[in-house]
Structure 1
Amino acid sequence: MRRRRVALLGLLAAGLLAAQAVLPAAAAPRLETGFRRGVGIHTMLNWARLDRGDPGRYAEAPFEGPAYALPEATLRNVRAAGFDFVRLTVDPGPFLQAEGAPREALDRLLVATVRRFLAAGLAVMVNFHDNSQVSRFESVNWLRSPEEPVFKAYLALVRRTAGLLAGLGSAGVAFEPINEPGYGYDGASTRRWQAMCEMLHAAVRAAAPDLLVVLTGAQGGNRHGLVALDPAPFRASRVRYSFHAYEPYPFTHQGVVSKQESARAWRYFSDLPYPPASVPLPMVLDQVRANVEADATLAPLERRRMVAEARAQAAAYVAAGFDRRGIARAFDEVLDWARRNGVRPDQIVLGEFGATRTYGRYRASDPLSYETWLRDMREAAEQRGFAWSFWALGGHGGMALVSEDGATTLDRTSLRALGLSAE
């Protein structure tokens, strides 16, 4: 697809503009029930296999092998718990790279996967969710301009995929054409994202006039990015709006190894309290110190520096006091944006939220703090009429809903916090 001729790209752009111009002017129809309680599926069609001879290319069958399988027992447990949809993340990179028969095989795999969830009684939100494995397909490298060749190819991919999903003929299918755009932190890139979002929406509508579309703001898809988005161009369309929420990050990302300077200390956080003031600060700082001192890879001077840095960040987390009231204020920003713009609360989706917890090889939040934070987030969303999707069902890193890595059973603490059946 990256070899498409410039002339073809010009025709595509013209077609998208035309499709956008003919959107109906009537009021948006009432959304059907469903897509209320979801869970992310990040292990089936993401983190694709790479070509053994060229790490800059995906393998011809990128999602083949046991690592991409979802056991039927896990699927049954998801449905029995009370979830009504899955947010299926799909790496667009292999679809952008493949041509001919391999490309058609990927389309068939995507359609078959969606049909499997539908047959299990679950609606499906298909989300194009890039990653950093092959840099030329990582969105941060091509969202710089609507004229980027990869973005134009991406528009063609969005249009093609929308047609496939619409062809399923199910009201239980939605399409989220991009995940967490990494721009929009200044006026110019905010305006650029608005234009690109409109182009993505038009690409869907060119092939699927009535498919449910999930749109997001920039700034990594957070609430600030959403409230900077102008929804007026989409008012006559069947859409929902998504934002992601992981605040406070020192709590939700305990134990996570990050290369970001501001997040280096997270790997040494465990048992941080939530609400922050529920445990005396000296106890919090003693745990942080013990975690740093247990790291045998640190040289003595580096260890002393990291103890000071980690303790300072933990103390700042406690002092900030971000609790249920902070969550309420954050979600009210989204609700106020919706009211100002004539967006119904049931069109809002808390598209991702989750936190690391202690299980298996992961040492993160204690069960009580974890359950309290997760319940506060879910209740804040529901009280405002927002749908939600928990991150995520499985995958390594410590945020999984399955009870252990590789398990088919679901974590009972998480289910209780989400208001679902833990039986």
Structure 2
Amino acid sequence: MPFQGRGILAGRRRTGARLLAGALGIALGPMTAAVPALAQLPSEQRAVLRRGLNITNWFRFPASAEPARLRAYLPDTAMAEIRAAGFTFVRLCIQPQVLLRPDGTLEPTRLAVVLEAIERLHRAGLGVIVDAHPESWYPEDHPEHRQALFDFWRGMAPAMRRFDRSRTFVEVLNEPIFRDHAVWAALQLEVLAVIRTVLPLHTIILTGADWGSLEGLQQLRPVRDPRVIYSVHDYTPGVLAGLASFEPGLDAAAIARLPFPVTDVAACRATVADSAHARSRAIGEFYCGEGWNAARLHERLATAAAWGRRHDAPVMILEFGAHAHLNRPARLAYFEAFGQAAGREGLGWALWGYGDIMGFPARSGPHPAQLDPAVLRALGTGS
């Protein structure tokens, strides 16, 4: 059915969503009232959602969408290795375009592979967050992308009814941008209401605008739903963790020499002083002057935890990482500081990611990635 025709159905569905939202005590629209979230995770879910790993390239940017190739990406031995390393759940990043057909339904054979993957991960002892993780979608500007988000969950949510809700979780959308936070809040609540029509008891993960950042979370008003979690992504400081990837053309080798923690500003600045690239020197020197250390990192995570306490709303850090090309002492110290801060604040977390340069880089062989024992020790997954 063309998009214009589906829009009529979407309007009817949104009307139904508003009725359901009213029954749940959810106010839809940009003027959503601030109300207590009244969300308390059962103890078994808290145990499951303790330490996670993003599975980044299975159903996102797959080398092939052919079902047999998809099925073979992550063998059972790799799943067992992830669990044995101390991870309690995975965030299964699903690019909706891999499943969506032009008529807005999900391709049944590939959907079956996704559902089989969830079952296999459960058998390995892992919880699973099913994350709608699109690429090149801009729902803040394109109505057809909003429609596609509704279409995805209209097909995926009923398929998830079979799974144990103590180990299976739903994430509405990865990293919404949305310059207008109220517009995103209204859309997110409509999608939440649609999912709730078929998954009334599953725990659903919400997030703020601005790429799901801490700043976006602070602009978000919690909903009156007892089964929600709020997600934050944090790669701060981006100069260090991401090797300043926010600005192309920098001297990445020089930036990779920066230390963490910064204990001597002059010594820190000396690590980039020999770079021939003036802008890279300036960015590195600015990082040094900010004095990043474990305490500053803890301060950010404590801010997220305080938002959760203030609103009686569980918060998790569902993406963080540090570039594998960063000098190893700084990288391991960063991971240790992050893991310890999250533990002190009682925040579950998920590293980005498995088969990704920010976590455990991709490799050839029977397993898509190798779990670095030093990174695992720094994160404290064995404790």
The TM-score, its normalising length taken from structure 1, stands at 0.79
List aligned pairs for 1:13-412, cutoff 5 A.
Answer: 13-23=14-24, 27-31=38-42, 32=44, 33-48=47-62, 61=65, 65=69, 69-99=73-103, 103-131=107-135, 138-140=136-138, 142-144=139-141, 148-184=143-179, 189-231=180-222, 233=223, 235-254=224-243, 258=245, 262-265=247-250, 267-268=252-253, 269-277=255-263, 280-281=267-268, 283-286=270-273, 289=275, 307-343=277-313, 347-357=314-324, 364-395=325-356, 398-401=357-360, 404=363, 406=365, 409-412=370-373
Aligned amino acid, residue 173 of structure 2: I
CA displacement at 1:29 relative to structure 2 = 4.8
Q: Write the distance in 2 (CA, Å) between the matches of 1:209 and 1:266.
A: 50
Gaps of 5+ in 2: 27-36
Compare 86-95 and 1-10 and name the one that shifted more. Answer: 1-10
Q: Structure 1's 64 and 277: CA in aligned 2 closer, same or farther, altered over 3 A? A: farther
Q: Deviations over 1:342-401 (max 9, x none)?
A: 22xxx21110111112xxxxxx22222111111111111111111000110114xx2232
Q: Structure 1's 2 and 95: CA in aligned 2 closer, same or farther, altered over 3 A? A: farther
CA displacement at 1:403 relative to structure 2 = 8.4
Q: Write the distance in 2 (CA, Å) between the matches of 1:402 and 1:215.
A: 28
Q: Write the distance in 2 (CA, Å) between the matches of 1:101 and 1:190.
A: 29
What SS does the aligned partner of 1:281 have? helix
Higher relative contact order (CA 8 A, sep 6+): 2
Q: Structure 1's 34 and 272: CA in aligned 2 closer, same or farther, altered over 3 A? A: same
Q: Write the distance in 1 (CA, Å) between the matches of 2:349 and 2:188.
A: 22
Indicate if the aligned counterparts of 1:367 and 1:413 stay in contact, CA closer than 8 A. no
Indicate if the aligned counterparts of 1:245 and 1:352 stay in contact, CA closer than 8 A. yes
Q: Structure 1's 282 and 144: CA in aligned 2 closer, same or farther, altered over 3 A? A: closer
CA displacement at 1:413 relative to structure 2 = 1.3
What SS does the aligned partner of 1:47 have? coil
Q: Structure 1's 276 and 42: CA in aligned 2 closer, same or farther, altered over 3 A? A: same
Q: Write the distance in 2 (CA, Å) between the matches of 1:169 and 1:75.
A: 18
Indicate if the aligned counterparts of 1:265 and 1:313 stay in contact, CA closer than 8 A. no
Q: Write the distance in 2 (CA, Å) between the matches of 1:107 and 1:415.
A: 32
What SS does the aligned partner of 1:5 have? helix
Q: Write the distance in 1 (CA, Å) between the matches of 2:361 and 2:84.
A: 14
Q: Structure 1's 372 and 405: CA in aligned 2 closer, same or farther, altered over 3 A? A: farther
Aligned amino acid, residue 139 of structure 1: W
Q: Structure 1's 315 and 62: CA in aligned 2 closer, same or farther, altered over 3 A? A: farther
Indicate if the aligned counterparts of 1:48 and 1:91 stay in contact, CA closer than 8 A. no
Indicate if the aligned counterparts of 2:94 and 2:131 stay in contact, CA closer than 8 A. yes
Q: Structure 1's 64 and 220: CA in aligned 2 closer, same or farther, altered over 3 A? A: farther
What SS does the aligned partner of 1:22 have? helix
Aligned amino acid, residue 144 of structure 1: D
CA displacement at 1:65 relative to structure 2 = 2.9
Compare 326-335 and 399-408 and name the one that shifted more. Answer: 399-408
Q: Deviations over 1:46-73 (max 9, x none)?
A: 1146xxxxxxxxx8x4565379711333
Q: Write the distance in 2 (CA, Å) between the matches of 1:154 and 1:102.
A: 12
Q: Structure 1's 66 and 208: CA in aligned 2 closer, same or farther, altered over 3 A? A: closer
Indicate if the aligned counterparts of 1:126 and 1:175 stay in contact, CA closer than 8 A. yes
Aligned-pair identity in percent equals 26
CA displacement at 1:281 relative to structure 2 = 3.4
What SS does the aligned partner of 1:118 have? helix
Indicate if the aligned counterparts of 2:38 and 2:312 stay in contact, CA closer than 8 A. no
Q: Deviations over 1:75-108 (max 9, x none)?
A: 2211111111000000012333355997112221
Indicate if the aligned counterparts of 1:128 and 1:178 stay in contact, CA closer than 8 A. yes
Aligned amino acid, residue 291 of structure 2: G
Aligned amino acid, residue 348 of structure 1: V
Compare 30-39 and 271-280 and name the one that shifted more. Answer: 271-280
Q: Structure 1's 282 and 173: CA in aligned 2 closer, same or farther, altered over 3 A? A: closer
Q: Write the distance in 2 (CA, Å) between the matches of 1:35 and 1:224.
A: 23
Q: Which residue of 1 aligns with 2:34?
A: none
Q: Write the distance in 2 (CA, Å) between the matches of 1:281 and 1:150.
A: 45
Indicate if the aligned counterparts of 2:240 and 2:326 stay in contact, CA closer than 8 A. yes
Q: Write the distance in 2 (CA, Å) between the matches of 1:102 and 1:153.
A: 11
What SS does the aligned partner of 1:207 have? coil
Aligned amino acid, residue 65 of structure 1: R
CA displacement at 1:8 relative to structure 2 = 1.6
Gaps of 5+ in 1: 50-58, 132-137, 290-303, 358-363
Aligned amino acid, residue 401 of structure 1: F
